[in-house]
Amino acid sequence: MAKVEGILEEVRSRLNHLETHLEGEISSLRGEISSLRGEISSLRREIYTNFRWTLGVLIPMWVTIILAIVFAR
């Protein structure tokens, strides 16, 4: 009976160690995910800014081409 209790105590000890290790890894993973979300947010802002610049160039270009066609006749 004492041998079974010793084995159970060893299993508890190992499970506690595993639980502590997993909590640390989960915390680390959450930090990495938070960092990635920040980077993704930054990239979204950059893409949005570049999109606005692209539209700012394309729309006047199209208007210029259309006006050139209309007034060429």
More confident residue, 62 or 1: 62
Token pair belonging to 52: 């606005």
CA distance 57 to 63: 10
pLDDT confidence of 57, banded at 50, 70, 90? very high
User: Which domain, by its residues, includes 5?
Assistant: 1-73
Domains of the chain: total: 1
Mean pLDDT of 33-45: 98
Could you say which DSSP state residue 73 is in?
A: -
Statement: residue 2 has pLDDT above 90: no
